[in-house]
Chains A and B, each alone.
Chain A
Amino acid sequence: MIVTFPHMGDMSIALKELFTGLGRQVVLPPPISKRTLELGIKYSPETACLPFKINLGNFIEALEQGANTIVTCGGVGPCRLGYYAEIQQGILKNLGFNFDMIVVEPDIVDIIKQLHRVAFKRNFWEVYLAFRLALAKIHAMDSIQRKVNMIRPREVSVGESDFIWRQTVDVIDAAENLSTLRTAWHKGESELDEVKLKSGTRPLRIGVVGEIYVMLESSINQNLDWRLGNMGVEVYKTMYLSDYINGHLFRKREYLKKFKYLADLAQPYLGHYVGGHGIKSIAHTVNMGQEKYDGIIHVFPFTCMPEIVAKNILPKVSNDVDIPVLSLAFDEQSGEAGIVTRLEAFIDLLRYRRVKHHLA
């Protein structure tokens, strides 16, 4: 059994840790490239959403490199993600690949059952350790990334925080146990703390809401965080992998409480869960509007159903809580220049608003 799985941001680092910890050989899909995208587009239904196509591209490339077991996620709708696996399996079989697909449905009992299938001659304690280390890596990476997003618009020498971040991610990737991981994490954080910051700047604060895949996968969102940071914007992504895991998998009380709070905020605009993150996009926009952020960028894959519902409601929210919202749909045609132009225009607008408010 040679395991592979789809890419999403830095998730591969954690999953690689988990499956090797469970005693399996892992083949990472090659980093998402033009070829990944081309393969995905070629064999996917035309109007499937972008994550579907890229996942499929990942699978094809990993199977070519010798993987024979795909681990991917399921779901119960109404977002399409839950039915990806079934369709992708058919497409890959038609292409002549020979493989097993393990579909992990989003509940903790099923996850444990499926992990048991993957775990190779490992006892409960070892499974627990593998799981714990993988989770810790996710937390470490997310926490570093949050910090980098704060520092980027303020740093004196451009690119310093990114350099530290990339180095830290490599060390986190290599960490074999919790203590080396913690050392790497703290070292990264303290190095970031020492980055020289410009004094007296008050960067724009922009919240990023929307669909998790596009939000986390920088090869798809055209390096959104980095771009905004370099344009002098402090970026608050409303969702990281750790949030997803704590909220959806472990259903931690603080996350459920927060979700309840958010759902209440969204209630006047969107009265029911529509799958995916649609309701959160609305809720975070209300929330960040109340907290006087400068603007919201709403990202989602083209044809994403929950986010299209949100998109049609956001103009009203934007008007009511007085916060500008830019909706960006990403697909395989999304070009760098188009995105950059829209971001620049949006940021100009936000700067202008700030000056106007300041004078008023």
Chain B
Amino acid sequence: MTIRIGLPRGLLYYQYGSIWEKFLQELGAEVVVTGDTSKATLNCGSGLDEVCLPAKVYFGHINDLYKQVDYLFTPRIISVAAGQYTCPKIIGMPDMLRSNIDNLPPLIDVNLNLRQNSRSLYQAIITVGHMLGKNAISSLYAWYHAWQYRRMDQAIRYSKPNGQRIGLIGHPYIIYDRQISMNIIDKLNHFGIDVITPEMISNRQAAIAAKTLGKKIFWSNGDHMAGAALALIQSGQPVDGLIFITSFTCGPDALIGELVSQRAQALNIPCMLLTVDEHTAEAGFVTRLEAFTDMLIRRKQS
């Protein structure tokens, strides 16, 4: 019988989910991924107190999932790059799950910490394989396969700079979760606006732009987001405006948002901070988007 492993569609799933899924399949497991976030997910998610919306959403997905699987894949991603961290809530997530849900199936919560030790990834891969009864070589081979798959999967959509261009800055798990982000990309596209997200900016470009900061940002997502935003506003053809979308009580974003808007202000590029939480109403959200885009259009005409 194959082992069923649950993979919640939340948090870092939006960055690494496809590769995890492939990796676990290569190891011979059946992977169950939850569907898109729904209102019901949000309701279940409120089991966690005071955390940001994406963390609640993650908790909601786990709630959907845990009864139907043998294992839950919830790696503890401490750091994905030297000198950087993910956010504390992501680091503490496996423990928050354990403390708040009874009868949880075993968690695959291997530590991944590339902050000081670059071998940590391989140790994590081998540990996961070991839990599923595979030896080190076949685990590494499975990861290699999954990685190849990811590289083919990655297709970058560049938009033509004809109309208005807006840089939409935010965590992938906010922007690409249609429930959390209220489908903001489609909405903006519907207004005839090209949207550029941080994922469309290469790591190298973002890193070069981030060098102009006085101090290196120690959150990996925040670093990339700030770098991408700076690359977009400092380039020869800067975007017409920035929308920084964040979730209420997101710790790093409270500072990164301020940093980005300081820089945008200095370059005279409009920047709007949009904060979402589980109570955000669609009408108010749309009104603000409309007002912002109208302003951009008028600005360009004058």
Q: Tell me the A residues contacting B by CB distance below 8 Å.
A: 44-49, 52, 74, 76-80, 82-87, 89-91, 94, 103, 269-276, 278, 302-306, 308-309, 311-313, 315-317, 329
Contacts and interface: CB of A to CB of B under 8 A. Distances in A.
Interface residues of B, number: 41
Contacts of B64: none
A163 B143 CA distance: 67
B218 A83 contact: yes
Given A47-B254, A78-B88, A303-B254, A312 B99 contact: yes
Shortest 8 CB-CB distances between A and B: which pairs?
A309-B92, A77-B218, A78-B85, A316-B99, A274-B88, A305-B251, A305-B88, A45-B258
Interface centre among A49, A52, A85, A309 (most CB of B within 10 A): A309
Contacts of A94: 262
Contacts of A273: 91
A313 B258 contact: no
Contact of B51 (A79, A275, A306, A308): A308
B135 to A, nearest CB: 26
Given A47-B249, A83-B217, A278 B96 contact: no
Interface string B184-203: 00000000000000000000
B198 to A, nearest CB: 18
Contacts of A76: 83, 218
A309 B95 contact: yes
A309 B96 contact: yes
B50 interface: yes
B255 A274 contact: no
18 contacts: A52-B255, A77-B85, A78-B218, A79-B88, A90-B258, A275-B85, A275-B91, A305-B88, A305-B89, A308-B88, A308-B249, A309-B91, A312-B48, A312-B92, A313-B96, A315-B99, A317-B99, A329-B50
A313 B99 contact: yes
Nearest to B113: A272
B68 interface: no
A303 B249 CA distance: 5
Nearest to B94: A271
A271 B109 contact: yes
A302 B98 CA distance: 23
Given A80-B251, A83-B255, A312-B100, 14 more contacts: A48-B254, A52-B255, A87-B258, A91-B258, A94-B262, A271-B94, A273-B91, A274-B92, A305-B89, A308-B50, A308-B51, A312-B50, A312-B92, A313-B99
Contact of A45 (B85, B95, B254): B254
Contacts of B219: 77-78
Contact of B49 (A44, A82, A312, A317): A312
Given A82-B218, A90-B262, A305 B99 contact: no
